[in-house]
Amino acid sequence: MSALAFVDANVFIYAFASGEPLKSRRCKDWLALLWEQRRGRTGIQVVSETYATLTRKYHVPADKAWGDLSSVLSWSPQPVDREVLHGAREIEARYRLSWWDSLIVAAAQLQSCGVLLTEDLQDGEIFGALRVVNPFLHEIREPAAPYVVASAPVVHRPRGRPRRAYA
């Protein structure tokens, strides 16, 4: 994957505290790949939502939840500022998304992300240059496109006079 990828809260939650081992492993693999390639991005809203969900719903101790999320802070999460709010309002009106999803899409677009990694939106949905990717429906390391050289059929007559057929 060569595009910057904005990671939504559900991916972090599956990776850090999910009781679903298959989804947890897949999200951990996605995060490891993004970390290795330095292509991961997120937002302050996502970090806040992840922390609240880990500590309240999954009863993860606050110190452990903060420890898990502290590495994500090195991705310089997009703050919810005036620019994000204006972008979210336009997205909400144009695409009829919820306000919270519109904030996520706006934050991803402001960071020039090409991929939004989430299971909360329709896989393959496009918002400008941003494409939604469900982490459970796609291979983590997509295979390289095959390089095939095909010879084009000749569609024009050759130049010059036609050759005579000799008997």
* pLDDT for 128: 94
Q: Judge if pTM exceeds 0.85.
A: no
Q: Which residues of the chain have pLDDT under 50?
A: 143-144
Whether 62 is in a domain gets the answer yes
Say how many domains are in the chain: 1
133 contacts 117 by C-beta, under 8 angstroms: yes
Indicate the angle between helix axes 9-17 and 21-37, nearest 10 degrees.
120
Whether 148 is in a domain gets the answer no
Whether 129 is in a domain gets the answer yes
Whether 39 is in a domain gets the answer yes
Reported as a single tens digit per residue, the pLDDT across 117-139 is 999 999 999 999 999 999 999 88
Residues spanned by the domain of 53: 5-133
Helix (H, G, I), strand (E, B) or coil at 115: strand
* pLDDT for 143: 46
HEC string of 43-82 equals: EHHHHHHHHHHHHHCCCCCHHHHHHHHHCHHHHCCECCCH
* pLDDT for 148: 57
In sequence order, the β-bridge partners of residue 126 are 131
Give the closest residue to 66 by CA, choosing from 7, 120, 12, 118: 12
Whether 157 is in a domain gets the answer no
Whether 160 is in a domain gets the answer no
Whether 154 is in a domain gets the answer no
- What CATH number did the domain enclosing 51 receive? 3.40.50.1010
Which own/partner pairs from 30-38 qualify as long-range (CB within 8 Å, at least 24 positions apart)? 30/117, 30/135, 30/140, 31/7, 33/1, 33/140, 33/141, 34/5, 34/7, 35/71, 37/1
Whether 142 is in a domain gets the answer no
